[in-house]
């Protein structure tokens, strides 16, 4: 019986090669993108773990005053899957009885909190299902995995995060339409993306 609430893992370890600089620190509404994402995560009322990697020594200070745990993943160059695995291993270490892990990306700065709250609510009702965000009919982040998936996720690797696991476990995946919760899933990969996000 897993008696602890889910843990939210915010992935913020990437190098952002297409952005041209450390995009975690790019300003969204006057604050660093990673801090904005972390504050949205904290608003959910569950423990938050942020996985840092590239430029961790510069990113960590902008989160230092927030009530969250930071994990520096030295293997961030191995891809998103490796960073996800590091986050799940941190959950296993510090929140062993967590009922699930809600995975969120730092480069979706206008996600909002309503969608995250919905994923958590559905998990409470269906704790063995994978609760994912619908993106063109496919499962994507943010996504909430139950405790039973921790072992598989902790061994993940490669550039695609949990995509292979979501495909393999498709029968257990419940999709949530983000538009119903006012969520903007736009991610920031280039300076043009940042400009368009500012315009919105």
Residues present in the chain in total: 200
Q: What is the pTM of this model?
A: 0.92
Q: Do residues 141 and 161 touch, judged by C-beta distance below 8 A? A: yes
Residues 145-194: tens digit of each pLDDT = 999 999 999 998 877 778 889 999 999 999 999 999 999 888 766 666 66
**Distance of alpha carbon 130 from alpha carbon 6, whole angstroms:** 12
CA atoms within 13 A on the CB side of 133: 27
């Amino acid at each position: 019986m897993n008696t602890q609430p889910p843990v939210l893992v915010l992935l913020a370890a990437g190098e952002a090669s297409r952005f041209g600089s450390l995009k975690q620190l790019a300003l969204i509404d006057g604050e660093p993108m990673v801090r904005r994402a972390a504050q949205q995560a904290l608003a959910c009322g569950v423990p938050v773990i942020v996985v840092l990697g590239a430029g961790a020594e510069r990113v960590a200070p902008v989160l230092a005053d927030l009530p969250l745990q930071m994990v520096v993943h030295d293997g961030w160059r191995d891809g998103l899957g490796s960073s996800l695995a590091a986050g799940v291993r941190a959950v296993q270490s510090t929140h062993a009885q967590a009922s699930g892990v809600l995975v969120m990306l730092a480069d979706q700065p206008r996600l909002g909190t309503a969608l995250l709250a919905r994923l958590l609510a559905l998990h409470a009702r269906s704790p063995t299902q994978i609760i994912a965000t619908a993106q063109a009919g496919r499962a994507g982040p943010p996504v909430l995995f139950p405790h039973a998936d921790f072992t598989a996720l902790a061994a993940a690797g490669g550039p695609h995060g949990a995509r292979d696991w979501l495909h393999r476990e498709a029968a257990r995946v419940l999709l949530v339409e983000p538009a119903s919760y006012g969520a903007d899933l736009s991610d920031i990969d280039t300076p043009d993306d940042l400009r368009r996000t500012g315009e919105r």
